[in-house]
Structures are given as structure tokens and as C-alpha cells.
Chains A and B, each alone.
Chain A
């Protein structure tokens, strides 16, 4: 047996001063071996990031650590700062979540990559540039010699993260710690970065700890998985085992609460309640209040279970690990709202919508160019239907939503809502139009006024429109609270007293106050924890069925979109490139961008990761201020020809299907009508 690179036993971390210390990590044991990729999965507050900082001695002075941590033969707890510094420089590499803040903006990327090696005396200053270029080449950065002399702001997000990977790997460390390395990146870029990370690890034989909340990423890259909950590891197992047969109720609940891109379950199975806060843990098992197995059993209520072997190298911290049968949720797709879409007049018709922002330069602020954030978007939403707008960051999906809502002025095109034009309305007319169209924001923390009680927040739209009493006053507010599943006893509280999921419910209640017909949902679950996402998605679906609402759902998460939508439109650089029914789009995508987006999305199933072939797109979304000529996708497209570079494709129906697309070479991948997710069916993209 090889010795582990990192061995952690009984690690405990407390924060806070005397008297009121908060246990954030409460007894964690694990080992990481060379050439192994261990994923630590958990929701916010589970202690996963703190664990990774603790094992390298990077926690601040206010943290108290106990237990034992052996990293490459050094006892981290109690080691001298100089020993730790030497050890970190030699044996450990770090990759953090946000590459924009990891890199120092005033130093060239090349200098930063080699800084560690130079400081530790392993590299001569004169050779640094050549070495930097070599390292950048190893992480697939084009033109590495030129790039090494550039500054971080000249790099795109994905390139920056690859530069951070190059920096972390420069010293050939024995251990690499990657804390949510792809969370800030788009799905096509995430695929590139994960591929580079995996390849470099294989080449160096390092051990990697990858911290993430995304089960799709886990299934794509992990060898072994540790699931954390409430400051402890509740289950560890090889990746295939944990997905096929979880042995802790939390793991199974987590798997079942996530929408999957390859199936669309009729209903998600959310974990009830809220993740625990480190300061207020329940007695006994910390998962017990939310657990389906242990609910109210005396043993679970009183005794915290230890991490025990449950067969073939697996450990589970559950009193009843054998009561979990294999996962047998049928993959039944949600019924599409056909009836409504066929007959009724569309509620919202957007035609040729354009939003161009001027680019002003110089002292005189003259307009020297235009950023075409939205450049000719046409879509319609029928009553009771969910239409999703999907795309990567910067594609203009949020701008489209805000322009429809009238929060940003449209520069062209028409917006018709319930038979009336609502573009360029002012004052009273706009206010009237907005009564039937409401907006739910992405960030529940920022969208509620912190100085108002939640009752006043939900009542505010009614009061502004002067119909508070007419609509039933306080009774109406209480009804709205019932509708979104919040207790009436919470009415007098303030937003800061609520968790993210509850705040989003308040945001939804506020949007429903005026009895709208259409809700524009701007990434309504993106800021929420996995187990909370499912609760909110279910709520939205219930409300739609109950109130006959139409949704315009703006999102980047293809799994969530598949789960909630009737129709889906894919946006790229301000235009819709493909639009179809949900099953049409996911079953038979015809635009190369849609195809690569779908193939890049991680699937939470380790079984298919070796057989599924991905189209990894080159490069990143171009700057919308100077889009490429012709088809804006052609520089990244695997089907592009000379025609694509010169001639912009028109948006129209693809053959006899319901799909509309804008591509000169639209067509299914390789063989027609084959699901891209059937293992091994995806044609190589080259």
C-alpha cells in the first residue's frame, strides 16, 4: 500500500471568541493517496472549504484547530510558520474559485506563474519567462510566449483559471487543492478547465482534493467522494458506488433532489428543511431533522453516529445504513403543456427585440461603437406555458428579460403583452402593464429591501398600485405566505432573519401579489443550495398549475431548464440560435452550439463518463462590442465553412420539425434521432 499524501484524523476547527465558539469542522478523518482525485461534496456551511484550508494551515488566527493532519510527512497542526511556508511552496498547489481575484492584476501572468519557483530558489530569474511559456503551453493556452508577458485582465475567465492551474502545478506539488474551481465559469469553459485539470493530474501523478457542490462535476472527475454535512464527513466511497448505491440518507437525498440533464423526473424529491448552521446543531445525528430514514428514532435523536465501514472500502455515518435500498426513481418526463399552446393567443410576443448599449470613449464621451447585448430576439410565451432562455454568461438572456419588463430601454423591435404593445411606455401606462407581468430576481439576498419587514415587502406592490385594501389587505398577504409555503408567524420579521431559499419564496410571493399572468424568472434557483433548489422548483411548478401562470425562465443550468420547460430557446451573443419544444431540443439538437452545450454539461452519472464523448468548444464567447462577421458562432464552430464567416444565417424552421434555428449547416449529430446522452453515441467533433 502506498503511503497517503495527506492523512487527516479527528480534525476539529472552532471559530469565534471565548464563551461562544462555533464548531465548523467537527471531527473529520480522511486520506488522499498519490494519483487520486478526492471530491469533497457538501452544501454551504458544511465545512468543506474550512477543512481544505485547515489541512494546509491557512486558517486565520481566530480559528482553533485540534486533531492530527500529516501532509507529506509534516505535522501541520502546531508546525512553525516557516516549516508550513516551505511545505506549501514545495508540496501543495492551490486553485481557488474565482480566477479574477486569485491573480494579482499588476503583475504579468508569466511572472506570477513562476513566482513560487523563483522564491524557493528552484528557478533562475533569467529562465523564468521560458518556463512560464512552457507551463502555459501545458494547460493549452494558445500563443504561450506572448501570453506569459500579458496581464490578467487581458485573459478571459477560462484562460485565467487555466493560468491558475498552471501556477498551482508549476512546482509539481504532491497535493493540489481545488476549491470550486469551475463554479465561476460557463459550462463550455468548465468542460475545458476540467479536462486540463484531469490531464495535468494524470501527467504529474499528484493527489487532488476537489471541493464542489456540483454532483455533475463529481461524476465527471472524481475517483473517490467524501460527502460532508454539518461539519462532518457522512459518507465516503468510490465514485461509482456512491452514485449507484448511496449508503447515507443525505447522499441519497442529495442525488434525488437534483434535476438531471439526461432525465426529467416528474417531480423532484427535495430535502425538507434547511441545512444546519454550525452554531445551532441538533442533538444526536445532525441530519436527523431532515432525514427520511431516521425520523424521530430514539437512537438518531440522541447519539451522533460515527463513520463506520459498510463494506468494500466504504464508510457511512448512519445508524441504519442498510435501510436504504437502491435508487429506483422512474425517469418519467414532465408532461408538456400542449393544450394551452395549441389554441390560445400568445400572452407575450417579442419580435426582433434589440438592446444596444453605446460605447463611449474619450473626454467628450463620444459614442464610438455599440455593444449589441440583444440583437434581434423573437420569442413568444403562451398562457400557462414555461419558455426557457438558456445561454452562457454575456449572451444577453438577462438583458432580454429586463428589456421585456421595461427595466432597460429597448432600442428596436416590438414587445406585445396580452395584445398591447408595452415597449416605450411611460408612467401610468407602464405601471398598469406591469401589474400583469412580474419579475423574480436571481439573488434573493439583494432583491429584498433590508429595512422593511417581509410583510411590508410583499404588500409593497399592492400599496404602490393603491389596491392594498381592495385586494384584501393583511388577509391577502397571509394567503400569499401560505401559497409559497411560509409560516404566517414570520410576517413581522426582517429579510436578514431568513435563509436563501426562504428569501426566494418571499420574492416569489411579492411577484404574485398583483396576480400577474406572466412571471419572468431570472435564474431563480442559481444562488441556492442544491437541496433548496428542488424545493423552489417544485413550488414554481405547483404555482403554475394552480394559478395558470406563464413563465419566462432565464437560466444557464441545462438540467434545471430541461426539468421545468415546455419550450426552450438557446441564446448566443445576443441572438437566439435554436428554439424548439423541450423534447425536440434535448432529443434532437440541430445547431452546433446547442449540441456542444448539451454535451459539455456534466451528467451526475459516473457510469457514462468514459463512454460519453464531449464536444469541447475552443475559445470563449467573443466580446459583444466586436462580434465576429457572418455567423457569430463560426470561430468556435466545428462545422464552420467559408460561407459562415461571410454570411449571417437567417432564423427559420429546420426541415419539417418544430425546431427553428439559425445555422447554414444545421443538422443532427452523425445519426438522426439519437439521444446525445445514450452512451457512446456522440460523434467526435472535429
Chain B
């Protein structure tokens, strides 16, 4: 446990030592904090004051107000809650389904590999947004439906990444060693191979977060995402675009937050992959040095 803490600490320190990833981390922490503690902030996303409709940014309404006189900043903060919740749920679904698929396919190979990976290929072949819209058409429009739909489109990436990782680890001696002293296939998959595969899976979690947020925003923008009046960034873009002339801040500010959030996740994902992958390279070099001659 203490090792895990130490490792997390060292990864965090290395993220903070890079300018880009430090900024991304800072921004995402602020967004997450606001989303979690939105109830305790002096913000009201639902209070309508029609007299205040479409007022520009001011001291009371920092981001201005919308066509119903609601505070846009409040709606952005509550919208972050929607976005992050959908992203978290979707990534959880994708990882919980994708990782075991990849494990089983890579570990056993043969017909199981063929069957599972063809299934994954089918998912991959469908355009994510169309598939999600079809899912929502079946399930009805709700946050849960959006979450499940986005989650399912994320399964192939986890399955493929995990399978690739399993294939490189499968023939390693330490996996064979567990087999040799009597460990079962299930034990080997979950206790030996999986703990050695965390790095790429973790990077994928971060990367998929940005994809999920974008997809959720796109669904809301098309009017099939989270139903109103729940605030959502995509929904705000959708209504905001009608008032682009008289109130440009209405669409631009939430759009900016959305862009920055996605950008932050991408920067973070790339930095993590550098750090985690880079660390492995160092190990390999050290080993090669010892083993040569």
C-alpha cells in the first residue's frame, strides 16, 4: 500500500514538474472541485429572471445570463457535474467490460480471441455518435442512457489495449512460473498479468475521459443527450448558437470551458503515457546494460 502511495506521489510530482501537465491538472482540479461542491457555492442554475435575460457578463453574473435570465456560470458549473459524471460512468463501463474482454482474448487465444475481437471490431466499425444515438432511441433520453451509450463505444479501445498488453506478457517467464507452481488461468490473468498492465490502461482512462466528454456534449448539442432542465455544456452550446449575434458570450464561454477541459485531459493523457512508458524504457535500458556481455 505504501508503495502504491509512493508511486502515485512520484507520478504526481513528475506531472507537476511539466508546465503543460501542471496547468492541465490545475484546471481539471478546479473543474472537478466546482462540480462536486456546486451545492455549496452561491450559484443557482435554475432561478429564472426574465428581466435579466441575455445580459452580458457583470459583477453578479460573471458569464452573463441566458435567454431565461439564468446565471450562465452556475449552469456551466452544474454542467461540469453532468459532463464529468457521464464521463466517469462511461469510462467505468468501458473499462469494466473492455479489460476482461482483452484479458480473456489475449490469454486464451484461439476461438475465444477470434470471437471476442470480431465482436469488438463490429463495435469499432460503427460510428460512435450514430451508435450512441441509436442506443438512446432505444433506451429513451436520460443521463443513464447517455452514459451507457458513450460507455459502450469506449469498450473496443480498452479491449484492444489490454489484449496487446496480455500478448506481450503472456509468454514471459514470470507468467509461466505461476503456471508451473500451480496457479490457475484466472489467477494468472487477474493477479499476475493485470497488475502489470495498469500503465496503458490508466493512460486510456484519461484519454477516454476527453472522448466521453466530447461525445456527451455532441449528443446534447444534437438534442438527444441529458434532458433539460439539467444543465449540460452541449445543451448550452445548442441554445447559445441561436443568440450568437446578440449574446456571443452565451455560446463562447461554455464552449471555452468545454474545449479547455478536453484539452486538459489530452495533455494529461499524453504526459502520463510519457511518464509511465518512459519509466519502463529506463528499466529496459538498465536491464540491457546488466545483461549484455
Q: Which residues of A contact B (CB under 8 A)?
A: 42-46, 48-49, 180, 183, 211, 213, 405, 407, 427, 430-431, 434-435, 438-439, 441-443, 445-453, 460-461, 464-465, 494, 496, 499-500, 507, 510-511, 513-514, 527
Q: Which of B68-76, B179-187, B222-230 contacts the other chain?
A: B179-187
The reply on B32 being an interface residue by CB < 8 A is no
Chain B residues with Cβ below 8 Å from A496 are 283, 286
Chain B residues with Cβ below 8 Å from A452 are 195
Q: In the bound complex, do residue B174 and residue A500 qualify as a contact, i.e. CB atoms below 8 Å apart?
A: no
Q: How far is the CA of A43 from the CA of B287 in the complex (A)?
A: 15
Chain B residues with Cβ below 8 Å from A183 are 293
Q: How far is the CA of A427 from the CA of B176 in the complex (A)?
A: 15
Q: In the bound complex, do residue B196 and residue A450 qualify as a contact, i.e. CB atoms below 8 Å apart?
A: yes
The reply on B292 being an interface residue by CB < 8 A is yes
Kindly report which residue of chain B lies nearest to residue A48, judged by CB atoms: B293
Q: In the bound complex, do residue B293 and residue A514 qualify as a contact, i.e. CB atoms below 8 Å apart?
A: no
Kindly report which residue of chain B lies nearest to residue A453, judged by CB atoms: B3
Q: In the bound complex, do residue A180 and residue B176 qualify as a contact, i.e. CB atoms below 8 Å apart?
A: no
Decide yes or no: A451 and B195 within 8 Å by CB, A439-B180, A464-B183 being known contacts. yes
Q: How far is the CA of A559 from the CA of B184 in the complex (A)?
A: 38
Q: In the bound complex, do residue B291 and residue A434 qualify as a contact, i.e. CB atoms below 8 Å apart?
A: no
Q: In the bound complex, do residue A407 and residue B182 qualify as a contact, i.e. CB atoms below 8 Å apart?
A: no
Q: How far is the CA of A44 from the CA of B176 in the complex (A)?
A: 27
The reply on B246 being an interface residue by CB < 8 A is no
Q: In the bound complex, do residue A445 and residue B181 qualify as a contact, i.e. CB atoms below 8 Å apart?
A: no
Chain A residues with Cβ below 8 Å from B124 are none
Tell me the residues in window 242-293 of chain B with beta carbons closer than 8 Å to chain A beta carbons: 283, 286-287, 289-293
Q: Which secondary structure dominates where chain A touches chain B?
A: loop
Decide yes or no: A49 and B290 within 8 Å by CB, A407-B176, A407-B179, A451-B195 being known contacts. no
Task: Out of B172, B187, B290, name the residue touching A464 (CB < 8 Å).
Answer: B187
Q: How far is the CA of A465 from the CA of B183 in the complex (A)?
A: 8
Q: How far is the CA of A441 from the CA of B183 in the complex (A)?
A: 16
Q: In the bound complex, do residue A451 and residue B196 qualify as a contact, i.e. CB atoms below 8 Å apart?
A: yes
Q: How far is the CA of A44 from the CA of B293 in the complex (A)?
A: 5
Q: In the bound complex, do residue B181 and residue A438 qualify as a contact, i.e. CB atoms below 8 Å apart?
A: yes
Q: How far is the CA of A503 from the CA of B63 in the complex (A)?
A: 61
Q: In the bound complex, do residue B176 and residue A441 qualify as a contact, i.e. CB atoms below 8 Å apart?
A: yes
Q: What are 18 A-B contacts with C-beta separation under 8 Å?
A: A46-B293, A183-B293, A211-B293, A430-B182, A435-B181, A441-B173, A442-B173, A445-B291, A447-B174, A449-B195, A449-B196, A451-B195, A452-B195, A461-B181, A461-B182, A464-B187, A507-B177, A511-B181
Chain A residues with Cβ below 8 Å from B183 are 460, 464
Q: In the bound complex, do residue B177 and residue A434 qualify as a contact, i.e. CB atoms below 8 Å apart?
A: no
Chain B residues with Cβ below 8 Å from A49 are 292-293
Chain A residues with Cβ below 8 Å from B292 are 44, 49
A407 to chain B, nearest CB (A): 6
Chain A residues with Cβ below 8 Å from B173 are 441-443, 446-447
Decide yes or no: A449 and B289 within 8 Å by CB, A431-B182, A439-B180, A464-B183 being known contacts. no
Tell me the residues in window 148-181 of chain B with beta carbons closer than 8 Å to chain A beta carbons: 172-174, 176-181
Chain A residues with Cβ below 8 Å from B239 are none
Chain A residues with Cβ below 8 Å from B293 are 42-44, 46, 48-49, 180, 183, 211, 213
Kindly report which residue of chain B lies nearest to residue A511, judged by CB atoms: B181
A447 to chain B, nearest CB (A): 4
Chain A residues with Cβ below 8 Å from B187 are 464
Q: Which residues of B contact A (CB under 8 A)?
A: 3, 172-174, 176-184, 187, 192, 195-196, 283, 286-287, 289-293
Q: How far is the CA of A405 from the CA of B179 in the complex (A)?
A: 10
**In this complex, which of B178, B182, B196, B283 has the most chain A Cβ atoms within 10 angstroms of its Cβ?**
B182
Q: How far is the CA of A431 from the CA of B180 in the complex (A)?
A: 9
Kindly report which residue of chain B lies nearest to residue A183, judged by CB atoms: B293
A194 to chain B, nearest CB (A): 18
Chain B residues with Cβ below 8 Å from A450 are 174, 196, 283
Q: Which secondary structure dominates where chain B touches chain A?
A: helix
Decide yes or no: A465 and B196 within 8 Å by CB, A49-B293, A441-B173 being known contacts. no
A358 to chain B, nearest CB (A): 13
Chain B residues with Cβ below 8 Å from A405 are 180
Chain A residues with Cβ below 8 Å from B177 are 439, 441, 447-449, 507, 510
Chain B residues with Cβ below 8 Å from A441 are 173, 176-177
Kindly report which residue of chain B lies nearest to residue A452, judged by CB atoms: B195
A226 to chain B, nearest CB (A): 15
Chain B residues with Cβ below 8 Å from A46 are 293
Task: Out of B176, B178, B184, B286, name the residue touching A460 (CB < 8 Å).
Answer: B178
Kindly report which residue of chain A lies nearest to residue B182, judged by CB atoms: A431
Q: In the bound complex, do residue A500 and residue B180 qualify as a contact, i.e. CB atoms below 8 Å apart?
A: no
**In this complex, which of B173, B180, B184, B292 has the most chain A Cβ atoms within 10 angstroms of its Cβ?**
B180
A152 to chain B, nearest CB (A): 22
Chain B residues with Cβ below 8 Å from A442 are 173
Kindly report which residue of chain A lies nearest to residue B194, judged by CB atoms: A451
Q: In the bound complex, do residue A500 and residue B176 qualify as a contact, i.e. CB atoms below 8 Å apart?
A: no
Chain B residues with Cβ below 8 Å from A447 are 173-174, 176-177
A505 to chain B, nearest CB (A): 15
Q: In the bound complex, do residue A434 and residue B180 qualify as a contact, i.e. CB atoms below 8 Å apart?
A: yes
Chain A residues with Cβ below 8 Å from B283 are 450, 496
Q: In the bound complex, do residue B172 and residue A446 qualify as a contact, i.e. CB atoms below 8 Å apart?
A: yes
Q: How far is the CA of A438 from the CA of B184 in the complex (A)?
A: 16
Chain B residues with Cβ below 8 Å from A430 are 182
Chain B residues with Cβ below 8 Å from A449 are 174, 177-178, 192, 195-196
Kindly report which residue of chain B lies nearest to residue A445, judged by CB atoms: B287
Chain A residues with Cβ below 8 Å from B182 are 430-431, 434-435, 461, 464-465
Q: How far is the CA of A449 from the CA of B193 in the complex (A)?
A: 9
Q: How far is the CA of A507 from the CA of B177 in the complex (A)?
A: 9
A20 to chain B, nearest CB (A): 14
Q: How far is the CA of A453 from the CA of B292 in the complex (A)?
A: 25
Q: In the bound complex, do residue B290 and residue A438 qualify as a contact, i.e. CB atoms below 8 Å apart?
A: no
Q: How far is the CA of A431 from the CA of B183 in the complex (A)?
A: 8
Chain B residues with Cβ below 8 Å from A448 are 174, 177
**In this complex, which of B3, B172, B173, B181 has the most chain A Cβ atoms within 10 angstroms of its Cβ?**
B181
Q: In the bound complex, do residue A434 and residue B181 qualify as a contact, i.e. CB atoms below 8 Å apart?
A: yes
Kindly report which residue of chain B lies nearest to residue A464, judged by CB atoms: B183
Chain A residues with Cβ below 8 Å from B172 are 446
Kindly report which residue of chain B lies nearest to residue A212, judged by CB atoms: B293
Chain B residues with Cβ below 8 Å from A527 are 291
Chain B residues with Cβ below 8 Å from A407 are 176, 179-180
Q: How far is the CA of A170 from the CA of B172 in the complex (A)?
A: 41
Kindly report which residue of chain A lies nearest to residue B187, judged by CB atoms: A464
Kindly report which residue of chain B lies nearest to residue A441, judged by CB atoms: B173
Q: How far is the CA of A441 from the CA of B173 in the complex (A)?
A: 7
Chain A residues with Cβ below 8 Å from B3 are 453, 494
Q: How far is the CA of A496 from the CA of B187 in the complex (A)?
A: 23
Q: In the bound complex, do residue B181 and residue A514 qualify as a contact, i.e. CB atoms below 8 Å apart?
A: yes
Q: How far is the CA of A88 from the CA of B182 in the complex (A)?
A: 55
Chain A residues with Cβ below 8 Å from B289 are 44-45
Kindly report which residue of chain B lies nearest to residue A492, judged by CB atoms: B3
A211 to chain B, nearest CB (A): 7
Q: How far is the CA of A656 from the CA of B174 in the complex (A)?
A: 45
Q: In the bound complex, do residue A460 and residue B181 qualify as a contact, i.e. CB atoms below 8 Å apart?
A: yes
Kindly report which residue of chain B lies nearest to residue A46, judged by CB atoms: B293
Chain A residues with Cβ below 8 Å from B195 are 449, 451-452
Q: In the bound complex, do residue A500 and residue B178 qualify as a contact, i.e. CB atoms below 8 Å apart?
A: no
List 12 additional contacts besides A460-B178, A461-B181; criterion CB under 8 Å. A44-B293, A46-B293, A180-B293, A407-B180, A435-B182, A441-B176, A448-B177, A449-B174, A464-B187, A500-B291, A510-B177, A527-B291
